[in-house]
Amino acid sequence: MSSGNNSHNDPTESSQTGEPTDLDLSSFPTENSNDMKTSNEENIDSNFMIEAVHHAKEGKIVVPEAKQQDQLRNKGFGEIFNKEYVLNSLESLYLLQNNKIKIYRSKIEYDFSTFLKTLIKKDKKILTKYLIFRDLRSKGYVIKDGFGFGTDFRIYERGEYNKKTSKYISIGLNEGTNIKASEFADAIEQVENMGKSVVIAVVERRGEVIYYKTSKMTFFDNKKSKKLVT
């Protein structure tokens, strides 16, 4: 955030997080909205089953079957990369936990726990990312990687992915995480400069995700006036 100098009445702008909100933002549907599904199973067809191959060395999960690629695309999962249809790690975990995908490596099928442990070896923050991803995805949003601010995601409302740009960027933190205020404010400012709103997703120790919206607050100097001593 931009800041002024320390002269009297020269405001200094800072960013703060407000009261926790369950995605309670204007035009951002709440968990109880009739337009939002809150069950993982409701978001995925009962006949939906994908087969994918994990290329561990390259760190990618590839879906070779064209029909299955179409099914994934219609639901906002995966994208084409170098002529292959690729799922990212979080999408794969989500589908695997919901029994909607079979992931193989050298003909050996992963279960959820084994696949998660494999991913943690390369990304220590994967569990935090996944808890946020799962919570938002189960509420009906399409979630894609962010812009490199750490644990951040682009959030698309239902029906908007591939049609409109994302309105929201979620920045994730674990409860109790220490972060420099200047770095935090810089990340928020960069997101807002893109014309997007910031949602702070805090993962509590029990795994529950609480959301905060950010806003600017202007502070004026709070200097005591000097008393004339006679």
Domains in the chain: ranges and CATH: 1-38+139-223 (3.40.1350.10), 40-125 (3.40.1170.20)
Give dist(CA 220, CA 200) in Å, integer: 26
pTM of the model: 0.74
Per residue in 21-77, pLDDT (tens digit) is: 343 333 333 333 333 333 444 455 667 899 999 998 888 999 999 999 999 999 999
Q: Does residue 11 have a pLDDT over 70?
A: no
Q: Does residue 169 have a pLDDT over 50?
A: yes
186 compared with 47, residue with greater pLDDT: 186
Per residue in 66-115, pLDDT (tens digit) is: 999 999 999 999 999 999 999 999 999 999 999 999 999 988 999 999 99
192: Cα within 13 Å, side-chain hemisphere: 15
Residue 177 backbone dihedrals phi, psi, to 5 degrees: -70, 135
Q: Residue 71: name the closest of 93, 96, 100 by CA.
A: 100
